[in-house]
């Protein structure tokens, strides 16, 4: 069907909401909706539309939400949204759009949320977002390839920006200049190898997602001007070490995710001037926790170092962490014999050295990976003070543990039933 006749909607003149799904309509013109009054407020179209004339929606001055998905259009007519002065939501997800022209969204002064995810957008012309007062911009799963200079600098009201999976390899300096209200920035699933110093200058985010990129290092000056209140997420990169001052003060009482990387070394004072709710370092390649690795770091809830290859802990004064719980997992611990006929490398002992801990300094638990189960040997009732915990001793105590959740301070579960941190 090319399109409905002018009488198609004549029986529905007083519609407020119209869902138009899979009616095999291929063409939309200004006459398509001639039978509907101008009071329509919500319009959803999902069809294989290949032709759309200018000003097709021009009569709907009260329209608040327009969703148009699954079309075959590679490009939108420059004045297709002419007359939609009260539109607050525009959803163009799952189309075949390849380019956004400068005047496509002009005069949409009330628009707050623009969704353009899952298209083939490889080019956005300069000034495309000029004069918009967007709060939410979704461009995930497109083909942008790079962040053009000044692309977002008009968006002073923007709070959420999703740029996941666009093939970015670098984040340039001042990429988000002008986005003073930005609270959530998603750069996950790109190919980011390098971030210029100043890329995040003066941003005060709640969340920054850099998961599943190709970062191998955190360079000095990249995150120092950044302030994050909830989550800074580096999971599933290839970061090899944490050097001094690279993260200085960038997270304030939030969660720092560094899990699933290749971290084998942490510089002294690497986390200085940080107050963290949680520090997540599990699934890395740490073997030794040096004396000053966590100096000048404050942790409100938990430091998670499980699933590493730790053979020695030389932390100077556990109390300096000011943490409630420290979760340690000795992945290759059982080498006093063999398990399942497979021998792992030998372990003579595991040393836990705590010099001059204060009264409240302690480890809440040591998580032992044994027979594909995680259990906890609790040490909450005593302070480990210049002592040694031997592998054979831990294994002996491990056999005596009954199958239950390990409880930390204030009866808080330390692990859930699958052995993961709660």
Owner of token pair 């919500």: 42
Q: What is the pLDDT of residue 381?
A: 28
Cβ–Cβ < 8 Å for 79, 105: no
Greatest Cα pair distance, the chain, in angstroms, is 87
Q: What is the pLDDT of residue 369?
A: 30
Residue 8 has a pLDDT of 57
Q: Which two tokens stand for residue 259?
A: 């899990």
pTM check: above 0.75? yes
Q: How far apart are CA 273 and CA 288, in angstroms?
A: 22
Q: How far apart are CA 2 and CA 21, in angstroms?
A: 15
CA distance linking residue 109 with residue 411, whole number of Å: 52
What was the pLDDT predicted at 349?
Answer: 32
pLDDT at 132: 95
- Which residue ranges make up each domain of the chain? 1-130, 277-422
Mean pLDDT for back-to-back runs of 10 residues, the chain (422 residues): 55 80 88 85 94 90 95 89 95 96 92 98 95 97 95 96 98 95 98 96 95 96 91 98 92 96 94 91 92 85 87 62 53 33 35 34 33 31 35 41 30 32 28
Domain at 1-130: CATH code? 3.80.10.10
Nearest to 43 by CA among 92, 78, 116: 92
Best CA proximity match to 259, nearest among 310, 215, 211: 211
Predicted confidence at residue 273, as pLDDT, reads 86
Whole-number Å distance between alpha carbons of 267 and 292: 8
Q: For residue 317, what pLDDT is reported?
A: 46
pLDDT value of position 233? 98
């Amino acid at each position: 069907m090319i399109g409905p006749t002018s009488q198609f909607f004549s029986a529905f003149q007083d519609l407020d909401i119209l869902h138009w799904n899979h009616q095999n309509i291929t063409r939309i013109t200004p006459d398509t909706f001639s039978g509907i009054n101008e009071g329509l407020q919500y319009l959803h179209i999902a069809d294989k539309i290949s032709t759309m004339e200018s000003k097709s929606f021009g009569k709907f001055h009260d329209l608040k939400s327009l969703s148009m998905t699954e079309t075959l259009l590679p490009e939108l007519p420059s004045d297709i949204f002419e007359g939609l002065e009260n539109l607050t939501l525009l959803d163009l997800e799952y189309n075949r759009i390849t380019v956004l022209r400068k005047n496509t969204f002009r005069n949409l002064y009330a628009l707050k949320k623009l969704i353009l995810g899952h298209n083939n957008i490889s080019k956005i012309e300069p000034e495309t977002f000029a004069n918009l007062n967007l709060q939410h911009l979704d461009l995930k799963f497109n083909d942008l390839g790079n962040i053009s200079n000044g692309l977002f600098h008009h968006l002073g009201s923007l709070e959420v920006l999703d740029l996941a999976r666009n093939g970015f390899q670098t984040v340039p300096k001042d990429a988000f200049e002008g986005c003073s209200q930005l609270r959530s920035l998603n750069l996950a699933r790109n190919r980011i190898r390098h971030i210029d110093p100043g890329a995040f200058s003066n941003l005060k985010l709640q969340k920054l997602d850099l998961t599943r990129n190709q970062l191998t290092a955190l360079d000095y000056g990249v995150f120092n001007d950044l302030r994050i209140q909830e989550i800074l997420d580096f999971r599933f990169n290839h970061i090899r070490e944490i050097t001094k001052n690279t993260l200085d003060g960038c997270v304030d009482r939030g969660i720092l995710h560094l899990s699933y990387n290749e971290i084998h070394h942490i510089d002294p004072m690497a986390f200085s001037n940080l107050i963290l709710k949680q520090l997540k370092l599990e699934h890395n390649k740490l073997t030794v926790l040096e004396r000053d690795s966590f100096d000048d770091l404050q942790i409100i809830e938990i430091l998670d170092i499980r699933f590493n290859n730790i053979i020695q802990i030389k932390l100077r004064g556990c109390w300096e962490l000011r943490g409630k719980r420290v979760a340690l997992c000795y992945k290759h611990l059982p080498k006093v014999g063999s398990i399942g006929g497979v021998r792992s490398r030998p372990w003579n002992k595991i040393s836990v050295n705590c010099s001059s801990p204060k009264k409240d300094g302690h480890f809440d638990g040591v998580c032992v990976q044994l027979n594909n189960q995680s259990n906890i040997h609790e040490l909450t009732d005593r302070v480990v003070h210049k002592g040694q915990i031997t592998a054979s001793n831990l294994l002996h105590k491990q056999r005596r543990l009954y199958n239950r959740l390990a409880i930390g301070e204030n009866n808080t579960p330390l692990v859930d039933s699958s052995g993961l941190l709660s």
